Amino acid sequence: MKKGLWTICLHPNALGEERLQSLEAFLSARPGAFPDPREAAKAAVPFGSTDALFAAAFGLVLKARKAAGRLKRNVE
């Protein structure tokens, strides 16, 4: 991946005890690899026009996929 800030979404409430311990060990073994979200937000690059265009296009794609799924279910 390119250099920069990347986000991940974890759902530890869906993990069993063993997997939760594995996640904790993974994160603990990489100090500094996962910055404090508050500090990362302070250092983030402002949202620009390219980002706004991408967000709008992505939103349209998601709406189109959802509509296509509804159409498919109605046809079946």
- The string of pLDDT tens digits covering residues 20-35 is 999 889 989 988 888 8
Overall number of domains in the chain: 2
Average pLDDT, the chain: 85
> Cα(28)–Cα(16) distance, rounded to whole angstroms?
18
Task: Please check whether residues 28 and 63 belong to one and the same domain.
Answer: no
Task: Please check whether residues 36 and 72 belong to one and the same domain.
Answer: no
- The residue segments making up the domain with residue 55 are 47-76
What residues contact 20, with CB distance under 8 A and at least 6 apart? 12
Give the pLDDT confidence score for residue 1 in this predicted structure. Answer: 58
Task: Please check whether residues 34 and 60 belong to one and the same domain.
Answer: no
Task: Please check whether residues 40 and 52 belong to one and the same domain.
Answer: no
Look up the pTM and report it. 0.42
Task: Please check whether residues 32 and 67 belong to one and the same domain.
Answer: no
Q: Please check whether residue 44 is in contact with residue 5, taking contact to mean a CB–CB distance below 8 angstroms.
A: yes
